[in-house]
Structure 1
């Protein structure tokens, strides 16, 4: 299997996640923050990719994974997925146009208190959809190849 090291690293990253952790914004965030770097990178990048592939940036933020947006931007840049990092950065700025500090932003996302995300604001939804299309059509940055290369160099 081509992505064996990625699958293995992801499995190691989630082994300590349980229902209780996933129900607590700070517990979940700190769990991910304190993972070994390779596991954190794989976890945040794979989560983003799954969410975008399944329902786009709106789904990523709606399903509380957007609380990891700022961390994921750093991790995308770390694996040299700079165009995907830029797209996530743009999406995050669209959602967080009030420029809440990261901690407040995380809590608002986690608790589904961003009304324009929860209520499917049309303008925001359309703008995020445009970013989804760019993400889907980005052939120059294969996320799995970049993760593979990162893991190969950081074992």
Structure 2
């Protein structure tokens, strides 16, 4: 039996197809138009999976980083401010040129951030430090917080 998080995530992705996933704006707009609970679960679960599997560098190189600013808001919404702060720090490291959000999303999606794609050593080391902080963070359990959020909003 699926738990509520899995159920909401499944609902969020049921209309996603390769055509949407291969177009930066369509994918982003798809996620923006999801019901809020689905959007929250989708962005946070993707973020958490990427960090758990390969860290912040993987999150950005696999194009999911295009949702970074939205995910920060959603992490704060479920009351995970420390994880939101880590993602905010990582995003500022990657986007140190302060590109506007649409430009940033486009660069991430198209893998045109050379320091991410080319594994810039200094950036990679700083992101690894944030990975370690993320992995050590026990007080903000993403699944428990998502569960609480869904219990209050479903």
Same fold, TM exceeding 0.5? yes
SS in 2 for 1:9: helix
SS in 2 for 1:132: helix
- The residue aligned with 1:85 is 84
- Does 1:37 find its partner at 2:36? yes
Unaligned runs of 5+ in 2: none
- The residue aligned with 1:50 is 49
Aligned-residue Cα RMSD (Å) equals 0.8
User: Deviations for 1:6-60, whole angstroms, at most 9, x for unmatched residues?
Assistant: 0000000000100000000000000000000000000000000000000000000
TM-score by length of 1: 0.98
- Does 1:137 find its partner at 2:136? yes
In 2, Cα distance between the equivalents of 1:72 and 1:16? 20
In the comparison of the two structures, how many residue pairs are matched? 154
In 2, Cα distance between the equivalents of 1:69 and 1:142? 19
Unaligned runs of 5+ in 1: none
Q: How does 1:6-155 map to 2 (within 5 A)?
A: 6-155=5-154
Which structure 1 residue ranges, 4+ long, deviate > 6 Å from structure 2?
none
